[in-house]
């Protein structure tokens, strides 16, 4: 029968059998999936695992600090932090196509992991060895939606499934591949991870890079980070954290509309709020967030974020819309 204890025991045995006495790395994204995958692998192989947190410059405000503090405090895992903002932004320059962005981000992640892997071996004074395994928090819905399931169309290349380069030097360890998100949360709790990690709303690996419709630039990221921080703060203050599955905040960077502020005409960008409720992210409904909360978010964003003069609400379910805009 399905119990979290059984899942943990079974996966620990499988991971040990797969990895043996070799080294593994696991990319932490700040999300639930990678955190639970890492905790599971750590339970199986202990210090043979090093987690790598790639700060690609596409994270939300305060997120890097949170990963560095919370996760290490909860698990005592060995963590390597890589500042790769410039590398990612350079690779993404001039690119607007969503699939293109996902592929580039997936590729750069792997390149950074490869570099981190050789540094980890060198730092351990283990020349001649290498890191052979890469742990990913791939879930069942990711597999299905990337076309890895049986007979399904490729909806999006989730960076941790369809977006990997062909010359990958690592073997993948994907202990969550058969699980849905609610099951992953239960497994995380079983492993002793705190609520702040286990109940965290999903956040995609490619980060804010797929929440800017148009080219990704530093200025646009900074602007979106501000708007996103306001939306998150107000939704949290309203006590909606748990009832909302997640709320992507999207910048329509290629769209401008006319507005008026003070005594001047503005020509700024719209911000889209996409609060959804869902069980497993395979389907979703738009959340009926109270008008007062929406009003507060809208007022604050247009007042506090320069160059944004309109806030719009996405009232599309999935299907036909996906949760993310790209
Ligand atoms: P969509 O937009 O396909 O999203 O309805 C479904 C869920 O998956 C998250 N998502 C991702 N997670 N890597 C991830 O780790 C990705 O490339 C990725 N793309 C989407 C999304 O936030 C939602 O929870």
Burial profile 264-298: b = 16 or more Cβ within 10 angstroms, e = fewer: eebebbbbbbbbbebeebeebebbebeeebbebbb
Which pLDDT band, with edges at 50, 70 and 90, does 67 fall under? Answer: confident
Both 223 and 145 in a single domain?
Answer: no
| 52 and 144 assigned to the same domain | yes
Q: How confident is the model at residue 25 (pLDDT cuts 50, 70, 90)?
A: very high
In a domain, 284, yes or no: yes
One domain, residues 193 and 227: no
Q: Which of 22-26, 33-37, 48-52, 158-162 shows the lowest mean pLDDT across its residues?
A: 158-162
Q: What global pTM score does this model have?
A: 0.91
Do 115 and 229 sit in the same domain of this protein?
Answer: no
CATH, residue 58: 3.40.50.620
Contact 170, 19 (CB under 8 A): no
Domain presence at residue 206: no
Which parts are annotated binding residues for ATP?
A: 29-35
206 CA closest ligand 1 atom index: 17
Same domain, 86 and 40: yes
Please tell me the residue having the least CA distance from ligand 1 atom 14: 204
For 89, the domain range is: 4-198
Look at residue 324 and tell me if it is in a domain. Answer: no
Q: What is the CATH number of the domain that holds 260?
A: 3.30.300.10
- Indicate which atom in ligand 1 lies nearest the CA of residue 138: 15
The Cα–Cα gap between 299 and 291 comes to 12
Three-state secondary structure call for residue 286: strand
How high is the pLDDT of residue 163? 63
Residue 123 shares a structural domain with residue 40: yes
Query: What are the beta bridge partners of residue 79?
Result: 51
Are 39 and 111 contained in the same domain? yes
Same domain, 179 and 218: no
Number of domains in the chain: 2
Are residue 107 and residue 169 in the same domain, yes or no?
yes
The closest-lying atom of ligand 1 relative to the alpha carbon of residue 322 is 5
Per-residue pLDDT tens over the stretch 263-312: 899 999 999 999 999 998 999 999 999 999 999 999 999 999 999 999 99
Asked whether residue 325 is assigned to any structural domain, the reply reads: no
What the block records as the tokens of 222 is 């900074």
Q: Do 140 and 284 sit in the same domain of this protein?
A: no
31 and 152 belong to one structural domain: yes
Which residues have C-beta atoms less than 6 Å from ligand 1?
145, 156, 158-160, 202, 204-206, 246, 281, 318, 322-324
Strand order from edge to edge, sheet including 171-173: 79-83, 49-55, 23-28, 131-135, 171-173
Domain stops at, among 169, 198, 227: 198
- Closest C-alpha to 32, from 164, 191, 211, 168: 191
* Residues 55, 137 share a domain: yes
275 inside domain = yes
Question: What pLDDT shows up at residue 151?
Answer: 45
CB 180 within 8 A of CB 141: yes
Residue 148: the pLDDT is 62
- CB neighbourhood size of 13 (10 A): 11
Residue-wise DSSP of 242-258:
TTSSB--EEEETT--EE
């Amino acid at each position: 029968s399905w119990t979290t204890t059984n899942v943990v025991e079974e996966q620990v045995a499988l991971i040990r059998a797969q990895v043996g006495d070799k080294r593994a790395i696991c990319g932490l994204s700040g999300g639930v999936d990678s955190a639970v995958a890492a905790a599971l692998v750590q339970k199986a192989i202990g210090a043979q695992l090093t987690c790598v947190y790639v700060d690609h410059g596409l994270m939300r405000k305060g997120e890097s600090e949170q990963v560095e503090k919370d996760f290490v405090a909860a698990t005592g895992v060995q963590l390597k932090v890589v500042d790769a903002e410039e590398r990612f932004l350079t690779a993404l320059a001039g690119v607007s196509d969503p699939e293109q962005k996902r592929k580039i981000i997936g590729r750069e992640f792997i390149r950074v992991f490869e570099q981190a892997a050789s540094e980890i071996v060198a730092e351990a004074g283990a020349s001649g060895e290498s890191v052979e395994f890469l742990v990913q928090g791939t879930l069942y819905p990711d597999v299905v939606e990337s076309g890895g399931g049986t007979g399904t169309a490729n909806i999006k290349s989730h960076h941790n499934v369809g977006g990997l380069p062909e010359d990958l030097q690592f073997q993948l360890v994907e202990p969550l591949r058969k699980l849905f998100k609610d099951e992953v949360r239960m497994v995380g709790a079983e492993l002793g991870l705190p609520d702040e990690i286990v109940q965290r709303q999903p956040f995609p690996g490619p980060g804010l890079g797929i929440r800017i419709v148009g080219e990704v630039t530093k200025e646009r990221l900074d602007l979106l980070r501000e708007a996103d921080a306001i939306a998150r703060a107000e939704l949290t203050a309203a006590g909606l954290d748990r009832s909302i599955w997640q709320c992507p905040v999207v910048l329509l960077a290629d769209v401008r509309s006319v507005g008026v502020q003070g005594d001047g005409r503005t020509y700024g960008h719209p911000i889209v709020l996409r609060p959804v409720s869902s069980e497993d992210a395979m389907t979703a409904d738009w959340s009926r967030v109270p008008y007062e909360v929406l009003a507060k978010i809208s007022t604050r964003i247009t007042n506090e974020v320069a160059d944004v003069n309109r806030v719009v609400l996405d009232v599309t379910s999935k299907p036909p819309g996906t949760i993310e805009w790209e």
